[in-house]
Amino acid sequence: MVDFVIGVDGGGTGCRAAVAGRDGRILATGEGGAANILTDRFGAIDNICRAIDGAVAAAGLGGDALRRAGVLLGLAGSNVGDAAGFIAATLPAGRVEVVSDGLIALEGAIGAGDGAVAILGTGSIFFARQGDTVRSYGGWGFIIGDFGSGASLGRAALAATLLAHDRIIAASPLTDRLIADFGGTPGPMVEFARTASPGDFGRFAPAVFAAAAAGDPVGLDIVGKAAVAVDLALDRIADDGAARIALLGGLAPLYPAYLAERHRPRLVAPKDNALAGAVALAARRFSGAGEGSA
């Protein structure tokens, strides 16, 4: 039995932690930087520890609180390779469990019942629960996955900008703005892309959606293709039995206008956020509390 539980929500752009009693009641929270262990495991563990330390300090707990706590971490990239094992072995806590950031988002948005979430932020992943069965869809990382994500939208926008520069496609206000942001020449953009992280690419996603909303043809093409990919995932989730789907992540408010009409009756508002979901799961798994809560 642990004295405290700590939930961690770690994503490509930031990390949040909450320390709670065994009953799941949150005492305090803390924040850190990006925590995608697939792209930067050492930076991720530093930011996770910073967020946890901030929450523990804000709760006024002693320095040994982490060793007396059960920590459940929902982390982007935890479903690939040995990343989860690395985090579990590195964190000096009483008990540690690492799950996908999608699972804590599902718990927070839907609660312990049936339903699904589409997480559309820097990365993307889809999760659905039906009875005791939980399925994940996507979430395989920026290089060969994360369709519909902010990172993929940003990368597509920069790629289109280079095509426009070379007069392979027609330029648009979006491509004109992006090339201007890099000094009007492709060199700095190419240099940026060589070392850019998913979060770096994701920073361009709001501009892509804004361009689409203004009727920009390049913006509309990029968002339209991304929405088709999201639609395909939602079709699969619906066919697998999910009647309720919550859209989460920074792009969640922007996507509904571009999704197929058939999905709109299934969309529901999330009950709570992923950090609350991490705490609820931690309370259930480490102390037996919080059953049925979100």
Quick check: is 220 in a domain?
Answer: yes
- Grade residue 223 by pLDDT with cuts at 50, 70 and 90: very high
Residue 33 burial by CB count (10 A; 0-12/13-18/19+): exposed, middle or buried? middle
Q: Which has the minimum average pLDDT: 26-40, 63-77, 80-94, 222-236?
A: 80-94
CA distance 137 to 14: 22
How, if at all, do strands 124-130 and 133-138 pair?
Answer: antiparallel
pLDDT tens profile 81-93: 677 788 888 888 8
- Grade residue 291 by pLDDT with cuts at 50, 70 and 90: very low
Q: Are residues 210 and 170 in the same domain?
A: yes
**Residue 35: predicted pLDDT:** 84
Q: Is the pLDDT of residue 294 over 50?
A: no
Q: Are residues 166 and 61 in the same domain?
A: no
Q: Are residues 104 and 20 in the same domain?
A: yes
Q: Which has the minimum average pLDDT: 5-9, 33-37, 214-218, 276-280?
A: 33-37
Quick check: is 235 in a domain?
Answer: yes
**Where do we find the tokens 């940026």?**
192
Quick check: is 120 in a domain?
Answer: no
Residue pair 282/70 in contact (Cβ under 8 Å)? The answer is yes
Quick check: is 128 in a domain?
Answer: no
Q: Are residues 42 and 91 in the same domain?
A: yes
- Cα 176 → chain centroid: 30
Q: Is the pLDDT of residue 198 over 80?
A: yes
Residue pair 99/12 in contact (Cβ under 8 Å)? The answer is no
Q: Are residues 279 and 235 in the same domain?
A: no
Q: Are residues 157 and 259 in the same domain?
A: yes
Average pLDDT, the chain: 91
Mean pLDDT, range 161-176, rounded to an integer: 98
**CA of 54: how far to CAs of 93, 96, 153, 172, 189, in Å?**
15, 18, 33, 45, 36
Q: Is the pLDDT of residue 293 over 50?
A: no
Quick check: is 39 in a domain?
Answer: yes
Q: Are residues 217 and 185 in the same domain?
A: yes
Q: Are residues 62 and 100 in the same domain?
A: yes
CATH number at residue 73: 3.30.420.40
Q: Are residues 155 and 250 in the same domain?
A: yes
pLDDT tens profile 240-281: 999 999 999 899 999 999 999 999 999 999 999 999 999 999
Quick check: is 66 in a domain?
Answer: yes
Range of the domain at 26: 4-111+271-287
| Domain total in the chain | 2
Quick check: is 139 in a domain?
Answer: no
Q: Are residues 107 and 170 in the same domain?
A: no
More confident residue, 100 or 219: 219
Q: Are residues 107 and 158 in the same domain?
A: no
Quick check: is 132 in a domain?
Answer: no
Query: Can you read off the two tokens belonging to residue 48?
Result: 């996770």
Q: Are residues 255 and 282 in the same domain?
A: no
DSSP string, 156-184: HHHHHHHHHHTTSS---HHHHHHHHHTTT
Q: What is the sign of the dihedral through the CA atoms of 51, 54, 58 and 60?
A: positive
